[in-house]
Chain A
Amino acid sequence: MGLASGSPTVDQGLKSELEKEGVVLTTLEQLYNWGRRSSIWPLQFGLACCAIEMIATACARYDIARFGAELFRPSPRQADLMIVAGTVTKKMTPQVVRLYNQMAEPKYVITMGACSIAGGPFKEGYNVLQGIDRFIPVDVHIPGCPPRPEALLDGLMKLQKKIDGQSIESAEWYQQGQKREFPIPAFGPKGLEPPYNPEVWKPREYEQKKQTEAEARKIHGTIHDPKQSAVSQ
């Protein structure tokens, strides 16, 4: 049996024929991912009003337990998923990044609500971080103010889809020597220092500059790039 889902040795038609007879064929990877996506345990914390909707999602009416994500863990060591539910103030940011660092791999992040995506109604404020994706990588963004419980469930299903598509062979956290640790920002005289982590987030201005450089390279072909020449040596 092939380990990776990309190399099936059994014909799909045969597989579904067998399934009709009650024989289920699967790959190790599919089984593994099925297990992982059916027990995503979120970290139990809420930062503002969005957390109320998250609580509603966990209650009987919306019943997040249908997706195996009902166990809100009080410790980051036991959690797979961080739902950033609410306004991330600059004062709270170091703690959120620290919690994320303390979670065990593989770990995922859902940003819930306009606030944690981009600052929301407090975007122009002196005290609110304009999106947690400035400091930690985010898997699913759920817009809304607040998003309804259905939206959170939809986000969770999107995340499950993402997990289904991951392969054990190439997943980041199984690579040797791979350690994902994100720097915790410090308090500066005007705000957080640094204001964002350039590894996970770049301002648009920078993106534009990069793009024009790439285009120039395409046209002229020989713009000196110290990074590339260092790699080829």
Chain B
Amino acid sequence: MIQLEEVKAELEKSLGVQTELSGSGLLVPKSRLLDVFKFLKENAKYQMDYISNLCAVDYLKQSQIEIVYHLYSMRNKTGPIGIKVRTDRQDCIVPSATPLFRGAEFQEREAFDLYGVKFEGHTDLRRILMWDGFEGFPMRKDYVHEDEDRYVEHP
């Protein structure tokens, strides 16, 4: 089992990145996200070579969107390490993890499709579940879907 406190101290020592414990993950500043990924992937001790999950969370009240990454190490058979990053809801740009982890490609497209997160450095950022020409990001909490403005009877 990987101790998050340990990872936090390690990141601070080697990269000088101030992280924050948040739930069962580490909240990383957006500007240093790729450095942290690179470190965790290439460091001999961690060897986090596999991204199992990437998802977005909409915090409407704080006007922020959080991206959660789960990293595993196939080689060491350890994990996960939860990494979180927060970004503004309006100007929703996050560096893409795809160059480091190929497995992030479709998951980033999904987060883009449903939450409107723009991943900088992603080579093929298109909608993946909704059709092209769809407007808006349906999983955002303030999305108004088409039937809401039409008459629907509620018991």
Contacting residue for A204 out of B131, B134, B147, B153, CB 8 A: B153
List residues of A (166-204) whose CB comes within 8 Å of B's CBs. Answer: 187-191, 195, 203-204
B148 to chain A, nearest CB (A): 8
List residues of A (112-128) whose CB comes within 8 Å of B's CBs. Answer: 124-127
Q: Mark B126-148, 1 if CB is under 8 A from A, else 0.
A: 00011101111010000101110
Is the CB–CB distance between B146 and A190 below 8 Å?
yes
A98 to chain B, nearest CB (A): 16
Is the CB–CB distance between A189 and B133 below 8 Å?
yes
Interface majority SS on A: helix, strand, loop or mixed?
Answer: loop
Contacting residue for A189 out of B135, B151, B153, CB 8 A: B135
Q: Kindly state whether residue B150 has any CB partner on chain A within 8 Å.
A: yes
Pair count A-B, CB < 8 A: 37
Q: Kindly state whether residue A225 has any CB partner on chain B within 8 Å.
A: no
A205 to chain B, nearest CB (A): 4
Q: Complex Cα distance A124/B153, Å? A: 12
Q: Mark B15-38, 1 if CB is under 8 A from A, else 0.
A: 000000000000000000000000
**Of all chain B residues, which has the CB nearest A192?**
B146
Sort chain B's interface into a size bin.
10 to 19
A190 to chain B, nearest CB (A): 4
22 A-B residue pairings within 8 Å (CB atoms):
A124-B145, A124-B147, A126-B138, A126-B143, A126-B145, A126-B146, A127-B130, A130-B147, A187-B131, A188-B133, A189-B133, A189-B135, A190-B134, A190-B135, A190-B136, A190-B145, A191-B145, A191-B146, A195-B150, A204-B151, A204-B153, A205-B151
Q: Kindly state whether residue A91 has any CB partner on chain B within 8 Å.
A: yes
Sort chain A's interface into a size bin.
10 to 19
What 8 new A-B contacts, CB under 8 Å, besides A187-B133, A189-B134?
A: A91-B131, A124-B147, A127-B130, A130-B147, A187-B134, A189-B133, A195-B147, A204-B151
**Of all chain B residues, which has the CB nearest A195?**
B146
**Of all chain A residues, which has the CB nearest B131?**
A187
Q: Complex Cα distance A195/B131, Å? A: 16
Q: Which 5 residue pairs spanning A and B have beta carbons closest together?
A: A189-B135, A126-B138, A191-B146, A126-B145, A190-B146
